[in-house]
Structure 1
């Protein structure tokens, strides 16, 4: 399944649950954008906190009660939660994330060509 289809599915589910991505005024659009941005930062914060705990566990394996497989599952969940917010933000702004990502990857390929390892 491509990214465009995943984004469409997520937006349909959001709209069914009362989380629209289109608004009658610019003010309402940016108010929702602000809420989703705060949500994204929250998810990134949760992801970061788990990484912090993994590093504590790696530094002091006998002193810190964290199971690494459990932590990796939590990291997956927080990363996907973050991705869902990015999908919503893209939809609010009318961005085709699939097309824009592919375009940015092409530009980065050219931009960082000198760094390519043989």
Structure 2
């Protein structure tokens, strides 16, 4: 029960952060939001299929060990991918230090919610 609550809280934080990042880029908002939702659903579908396959081919406790090993390997690959492959930032996001950043009221609300939560 506690694990489900913590997972739900983490999912909420991730969702709020992703929506904030997407809103901050301010280009093709609906397409990027749709791509995030689509990838999230696809990842869940792959995860459920992989979990069912592993747990149906192993006994209960060894199956969980294999499942956690697979999830850990996927997380490690994601970390290595994030650290090694970097995309160039768009030039419009790179600003000089002297310019003051002015956020719209909608973006201010998003960032304040991120800070409060």
TM-score (norm 1): 0.37
